[in-house]
Amino acid sequence: MAKTLLGRKLRMTHMFDDNGVVIPLTAIEVGPCPVVQVKRPETDGYCAYQIGFGEARERSVTQALLGHFNKAGVSATRYLREVRCANEAELPEVGATLSVEAFEEGEFVDVTGTSKGKGFQGVVRRHHFGGQRATHGQMESRVPGSIGASSYPSRVFKGTRMNGRMGGARVTVLGLKIAKIDPENRLIYVRGCVPGPDGRVVEIRTSNRGKARKAK
Per-residue pLDDT of the chain (216 residues; tens, 9 = 90+): 568 999 999 999 999 988 899 999 999 999 899 999 999 888 888 999 999 998 888 888 899 999 999 999 999 999 999 999 888 778 888 999 999 998 999 999 999 999 999 999 999 999 999 988 888 888 888 888 888 888 888 999 999 999 999 999 999 999 999 999 999 999 999 999 999 999 999 999 998 876 555 544
Integer Cα distance of 115 and 13 in angstroms: 19
Helix runs in 21-164, H state only: 41-44, 63-72, 123-127
Task: Say yes or no: 41 and 85 in one domain.
Answer: yes
Task: Say yes or no: 203 and 108 in one domain.
Answer: yes
Tell me the residue type at 106. Answer: G
Integer Cα distance of 174 and 206 in angstroms: 10
Kindly report the CATH number assigned to the domain that includes residue 44.
3.30.160.810
Strand 117-121 relative to strand 77-85, pairing: unpaired
**Residue 88 forms part of a structural domain:** yes
Integer Cα distance of 190 and 165 in angstroms: 29
**Residue 5 forms part of a structural domain:** no
**Residue 133 forms part of a structural domain:** yes
Task: Say yes or no: 40 and 86 in one domain.
Answer: yes
**Residue 12 forms part of a structural domain:** no
Task: Say yes or no: 51 and 36 in one domain.
Answer: yes
Task: Say yes or no: 134 and 74 in one domain.
Answer: no
Task: Say yes or no: 112 and 131 in one domain.
Answer: no
Task: Say yes or no: 26 and 37 in one domain.
Answer: no
Hey, is 102 helix, strand or coil? helix
Hey, is 168 helix, strand or coil? coil
**Residue 186 forms part of a structural domain:** yes
Tell me, what's the pLDDT at 214? 57
Task: Say yes or no: 65 and 143 in one domain.
Answer: no
Q: Which residues form the domain of 40?
A: 32-98
Size of the chain in residues: 216
Provide the domain count of the chain.
3
- Residue 7, strand partner residues: 30, 202
The verdict on whether omega for the bond into residue 153 sits within 30 degrees of 0, i.e. cis, is yes
Kindly report the CATH number assigned to the domain that includes residue 207.
2.40.30.10
Task: Say yes or no: 46 and 93 in one domain.
Answer: yes
Task: Say yes or no: 110 and 199 in one domain.
Answer: yes
Task: Say yes or no: 111 and 172 in one domain.
Answer: yes
